[in-house]
Structure 1
Amino acid sequence: MDLKENKFFSIGLVFLATIIFIKLLAALFRSGSKHRQPPIVKSLPVIGGLLRFMKGPILLIRQEYQKLGSVFTLNIVNRKITFFVGPEVSSHFFKAPEVELSQQEVYQFNVPTFGPGVVFDVDYSVRQEQFRFFTESLRVSKLKSYVDQMVVEAEDYFSKWGECGEVDLKYELEHLIILTASRCLLGREVRDKLFDDVSALFHDLDNGMRPISVIFPYLPIPAHRRRDRARARIAEIFSTIINSRKVSGKSEDDMLQCFIESKYKDGRPTTDGEITGLLIAALFAGQHTSSITSTWTGAYLLRFKQYLAAALDEQKKLMKKHGDKVNHDILAEMDVLYRCIKEALRLHPPLIMLLRQSHADFTVKTKEGTEYDIPKGHIVATSPAFANRLPYIYKDPDTYDPDRFAPGREEDKVAGAFSYISFGGGRHGCLGEPFAYLQIKAIWTHLLRNFEFELVSPFPEIDWNAMVVGVKGQVMVRYKRRKLSVDT
C-alpha cells in the first residue's frame, strides 16, 4: 500500500513538474515574442472603466497615455475598447478595409434618426454607393452653385443687424448655418416655405440623440418618442416635395435634386425614404460641426489680433484683385482664413472620438517599435481631440497658431499621414470637408468685410457634455458696421 502511494505521489510530482515546465516555457516564448496584446487599463470589477469613460474620455486617454503609451485597452462591462494615440498606430484604423474594421456596428445608434435603408442600416456595398451619391452632390461644379447660395444667405441674414450692437455670436452662426444648409441641401421649397416647420422637426431629431441613445437607441423615453414623430413627419414633407419635383420636371441646384437623380449601379433609382434619410444624414454631419467651428474661428480671431489683422489684410488684397465679388474660386484663394479655420478645428474638433469594430486580428507598431496584437471583437477608437495636440507633432500644441500650417512649416505634414484628423481620414474621411470650409469662409468673409468686432464675454469654454462637443455658453460680441476697403 505504501509502495502504491509512493508511486502515485511520484507520478503526480512528475505531472505537476511537467505542467509548470510547459507554462514556464510558454511564458519564455511569450516574453521573447515581439507581439503582445495591449496593456489593460486598471478598472473596477464587472463595470470596468464605464464610470471613468462616461466622466470624460479625453481625461481618461490623457492619463492612460502617460502611463501605458499609445496603445491600451479599456474594459467596459462586456466590451473591450482599444485606443490608438498618434499617427503611427492609427494608420491601420484609417486604411483598413471594411471587412477588418467597420463602422456599421458602432454607429447603429444613428439608425432611428437617419431612418431605415440608409448609411448604417445597409451593408457596406450599398453604403458605398450611397456615399458615391454624396460625392457627386459635392463635386466642384455643385460646390460653385452652393457658394453663391451661401453668400446670398449671409448677406440677407446680416443685413438685419443694426449699425451697432451686441449679439451672441454662437446663436447667430447656428441660425445662419441652418438657413444655409436648408437652401443648399434640403432645397428651395424648405428654405422659402417650410423652414420654420422643418427646423422645429430637426430640433426634435437632434434632441433625440442623447448619450443614453448610444447604448439604448430605442429606449421609450420622451426624447426618443419626439424623435420618432419628427422623423415620420419629415419623411412625409420630403415625399411631397420629391413627388412635386418629379411631376413638374423642375430641377434645382441642391443636394435634394442630386439624390433624386441618383441611381444605383443596377439602374435602380433612389426611393423617397432613402432620399430623406440621406438628407438627414448630410444635415446632421454638417450643421453642428460647421456652426461650432465658425464660432471657435471667430472667438480666436477676436482674441488674437495679429491673426485678425492678417485675415483682414488678405481680404483687402483679394478685394483689390477681384472687387467686392465673392465666389468659389475667390474663397479658394483665402489661405490665411483657411489656416485660421483649420487651427480652430485642430484645437476643437467637434467629433472627439472615432470608432470601429474589429472583425479580424491585426498588429500595430508604435513609434518606439513595440508591436501589439489587436484581437478580433475589440472596438477600436482614436481621438482627434487628443491626437491633434500631441507635442511631438505640434509645437506648443495648446496654443492657437495658424501659421503652423503655413508653407515651409506645415507641422501636420512633417509628421506624416493622419497627424491631423479633425475630418477623420483614409477610407472614411469626411466627404463634406470642402463644403464645410467654403461655408465657414463665406460667412467670415462677409463678417470681416462688413463689421468690426470686440469680444465682450470671457473667452468660451468647451462643452464636454454635448454629443457633438462644442462651445459652452454664450459668446457675446460687440459689433459696429463698416465697409472694408483696400485703403482702410
Structure 2
Amino acid sequence: MKMEVYFYKVLNMSSVVIVVLFLTMVVTKLITSLPSKKKKSVRVPPVLQAWPPLIGTLIRFMKGPISLLREEYPKLGSVFTVKLLHKNITFLIGPEVSEHFFNAFESELSQKEVYRFNVPTFGPGVVFDADYPIRMEQFRFFADALKVHNLRGYVDPMVREAADYFSKWGESGEVDLSVELERLIILTASRCLLGREVREQLFDDVSALFHELDNGMLPISVLFPYLPIPAHGCRDRARAKLAQIFSKIIASRKRSGDKSEHDMLQCFIDSKYKDGRETTESEVTGLLIAALFAGQHTSAITSTWTGAYLMRDKHYLLAAKDEQKKLIEKHGDKINYDILSEMDVLFRCIKEALRLHPPLIMLMRASHSDFNVTTREGKTYEIPKGHIVATSPVFANRLPHVYKDPDNFDPDRFAPGREEDKAAGPFSYISLGAGRHECLGGPFAYMQIKAIWSHLLRNFELELMSPFPETDWNAMVVGVKGKVMVRYKRLHVS
C-alpha cells in the first residue's frame, strides 16, 4: 500500500511538472509571437545548400564564383550566404543592398583582413599592412598624386609614349592587340608613375622584376601568401631587388634637391604624414608597386576590350572616329588634358567595355559589426558580425533591372537622357568600386586609355581578324582569353 501511494505521489508530481512545463512553453510561444519589428521583419540571409556537406559549396565556389552567382541569384535573391569551411561569405548583389558595403567605415567593414595576401608583394608598412589611420594617409598621397593639376602633366608623356610606340608599326600588318596594349601600358605607367630614371635607364630590369612579382600572385596566394613554392620565392627576390633599385633613385633625388620631375614617384617622395614625418624609401617603393599593380592590368585589359568592341560594332567605331575628326578640326593635332576630356563618345565606349568586363570579379570586406540590408522586394536581412561580405562587379553590372539588355555593348546607355547607371540609383556601376573605397586611379586610367585610342583612331584603319575574344576566368585579374589578332593599315592624311 505504501509503495502504491509512493508511486501515485511520484506520478502526480510528474504530471504537475509536465503541466508546468507545457504551460511555460505555451506562454513562451505567446510572448515570442507578440509583434516585434525585428523578429517579424529581420532574418538571417538564406544559405546556399550543396552536396556533399562541408565541401560541396567549396567545390562549387572553386569552379567559379560567377557561375555560382548565375545559378543561385534567381533562387536565393540578392542576399545569401555561402559557407566555405570555417568562413561565411555573404553576397550583396545589386545597388539596393550595396550602400553599407561601399560607404561603411573601416571599423564596420574592413579591407585589411581579406586583402592581406598582397602584403608580400606591396611590402611591409604600406596599404594593407598599415593600420587604418596610416593607410588613410597613404591613400591621401595617392589622391594628391592624381589631382587634376598632376593629371594634366601626365598627358604629354602618355601621348609621346603612344606616338613613339605606334611609330614602330609598319604601313600595314597584323598584331596581337592585347600584347601590344599591355606593352604600351607598362611603358606609359613607367614614365608617369615610376619616373624618368626607370623609363630611360632601367626599364628592362624593372619590367622583368615586375613580371616576376606578377607571376607570384597566384590563386593559392590568396589563401597561403607565404607558402614556400617557387613562384613565391621569385616574387620575394624580385621585391627585394626592386627595393634596392628604388632606394638608390629616391636617395639620389633627395640628395640633389631637384623636384622638377613630374611623376608619382616625386609626389610620394614629397608627401608627409600629418605629424610631419616624411615617407621612407621602403614606403615609397611599396606605394609605387601598389599603384602599378592597381592600374597596369586594369588599363591594359580595358583598352583591349574597348578595341575589340569598337572593331566588332562598326556603328560605334565610326562614331568614335567622327568625334576625333571634329576635335582635329577644332584643335588641330594637339592633344592635352582638356581635349581628352572632350572625348565623350570614346569615354562612353571605354566605360561600357569596363561595365561588361571589370577586371576584378569580387570585392570583399570583413564585417566587424551586425548590420541590416533591405532588398528591392522589401525583405530585410541581418548580416552577422564575423562574416566576409562580398559583391561582384561582373555580376552586378549586368542586372536586367538596372541595365536594359545588359549583355549588349551599348555605350549610349550612359549618354545624356538615358544615364542608366544613375537612373537606378547609387552603386549601380561598380567596375571601379564606389563610395568610400572608389578607385582613386579611375581618372588616370580613363585618360591613359583615351590617349592611346585617340592615336589609333586618328592614324590607323583597324580590323578584328580573330573571333571576338572570350573571358579568361582563370586569371587573378580577369582579362581576355587567347590572342586578339588585329589587321592594321596606316592612314596618311593629305
The question of a shared fold, defined as TM-score above 0.5 by the shorter chain, is answered with yes
Q: Does residue 163 of the first structure (1) align with residue 171 of the second (2)? A: yes
* Residue of 345, 350, 372 corresponding to 1:363: 372
Match of 1:72 among 37, 58, 80: 80
Match of 1:279 among 285, 288, 295: 288
Q: Which residue of the partner structure matches residue 12 of structure 2?
A: 7
Q: 2:3: which partner in 1? A: none
Q: Distance in 2 between matches of 1:387 and 1:166?
A: 36
Deviates more, 1:42-51 or 1:67-76: 42-51
Could you tell me which of 38, 41, 46 is aligned with 2:48?
Answer: 41
Give the counterpart of 1:319 among 315, 318, 328.
328
Instruction: Name the structure 1 match of 2:274.
Output: 265
2:351 paired residue number: 342
Shift of 1:20: 4.3
**Whole-Å separation in 2 of the counterparts to 1:14 and 1:384:** 57
Partner of 1:469: 478
Q: Which amino acid aligns with 1:466?
A: A
**Deviations 1:444-471, CA, capped at 9 Å, x for gaps:** 0000011101100000000000000100
CA positional deviation for 1:370: 0.9
Runs of 4+ residues deviating >3 angstroms: 18-32
d(CA) in 2 for partners of 1:154 and 1:85? 38
Matched, 1:111 2:111: no
Superposed CA offset, 1:371-396 (max 9, x none): 11111111100111011001011110
1:296 match: 305
Shift in Å at residue 52 of structure 1? 1.0
Alignment of 1:353 onto 2:353: no
TM-score, with normalisation over the residues of structure 1?
A: 0.97
Q: From the superposition, tell whether residues 463 and 26 of structure 1 become closer, same or farther in structure 2 (CA, over 3 Å).
A: farther
**C-alpha distance in 1 between matches for 2:247 and 2:282:** 8
Q: How far 1:62 moved relative to its partner?
A: 1.6
Match of 2:430 among 400, 421, 426: 421
Say whether the 8 Å CA contact 1:84–1:382 is kept in structure 2.
yes
Q: Deviations over 1:261-294 (max 9, x none)?
A: 0000000000000000000000000000000000
SS in 1 for 2:347: helix
Seen in structure 2, the aligned counterparts of structure 1 residues 16 and 171 have a Cα distance that, compared at 3 Å, is same
Alignment-derived partner of residue 177 in structure 1: 185
- Correspondent of 1:130 among 113, 135, 138: 138
From 404, 407, 418, the equivalent of 1:395 is 404
Q: Distance in 2 between matches of 1:18 and 1:230?
A: 72
Deviation at 1:17, TM superposition (A): 2.3
Question: Following TM superposition, by how much is the alpha carbon of 1:9 offset from its aligned partner in structure 2, in angstroms?
Answer: 2.7
Change (3 A) 1:270 1:42: same
Compute the displacement of 1:5 (Å).
3.0
**Would you say 1:59 and 2:64 are equivalent positions?**
no
Relative to structure 1, the CA distance from residue 480 to residue 23 in structure 2 (aligned partners, 3 Å threshold; closer, same or farther) is: farther
Conserved? CA contact 1:114–1:278, under 8 Å: yes
| Paired residues for 1:441-460 under 5 Å | 441-460=450-469
CA 1:18/1:58 → structure 2, altered by over 3 Å: closer, same or farther? farther
- Residue in 1 that maps onto 2:241: 233
Give the secondary structure class of the aligned counterpart of 1:49.
helix
Amino acid at match of 1:468: V
Alpha-carbon shift at residue 16 of structure 1 (Å): 4.6
Q: 2: CA distance between counterparts of 1:254 and 1:247? A: 18
Conserved 8 A contact 1:454-1:478:
yes
Q: Secondary structure at the match of 2:98?
A: helix
In structure 1, what is the Cα distance between the partners aligned to 2:265 and 2:188?
14
Residue of structure 1 equivalent to 2:154: 146
Matching residue of 2:90 = 82
1:328-358 CA distance string (max 9 Å, x none): 1100000000000000000000011110110
Question: Out of 195, 209, 217, which is 2:217 matched to?
Answer: 209
The letter for the 2-side match of 1:243 is A
SS in 2 for 1:395: coil
8 A contact 1:449–1:484 mirrored in 2: no
- Cα displacement (A) at 1:320: 0.2
* Offset, 1:19: 6.2
State the Cα distance separating 1:25 from its structure 2 match. Answer: 4.4
Give ranges in structure 2 of 5+ residues lacking alignment: 1-5
- Greater shift, 39-48 or 316-325, is seen at 39-48
| Aligned equivalent of 1:332 | 341
Cα distance between partner residues in 1 of 2:12 and 2:229: 69
C-alpha deviation, 1:24, in angstroms: 4.0
Q: Is the 8 A contact 1:348 1:385 kept in 2?
A: yes
RMSD of aligned alpha carbons:
1.4
SS in 2 for 1:298: helix
**Which shifted more, 424-433 or 36-45?**
36-45
Structure 2 vs 1, CA of residues 174 and 15 (structure 1 numbering), >3 Å: closer, same or farther? farther
Task: Indicate the SS of the match to 1:33.
Answer: helix
* Equivalent pairs, count: 485
* SS across alignment from 2:199: helix
Distance 2:33 2:237 in 1: 61
Q: Which residue of 2 aligns with 1:21?
A: 26
Contact 1:449 1:483 in 2 (8 A): no
Partner of 2:314: 305
1:378 and 2:387 correspond: yes
Q: How far apart in 2 are the matches of 1:128 and 1:328?
A: 28
1:4 Cα deviation from its structure 2 partner: 3.5
Q: Is 2:198 the partner of 1:190?
A: yes
Give the SS at the match of 1:471.
Answer: strand
Superimposed CA distance per residue, residues 224-280 of structure 1 (whole angstroms, 9 cap, x where no aligned partner): 111000001100000000011111222211000000000000000000000000000
Relative to structure 1, is the Cα distance of residues 19 and 184 closer, same or farther in structure 2, using a 3 angstrom cutoff? farther
Distance in 1 (CA, whole Å) between partners of 2:41 and 2:122 is 44
Tell me, which stretches of 5 or more residues in structure 1 are unaligned? Answer: none
TM-score by length of 2: 0.96
Structure of larger gyration radius: 2
| Cα displacement string for residues 66-111 of structure 1 (whole angstroms, at most 9, x for unaligned residues) | 0011111110001111100110100110111111111111101001
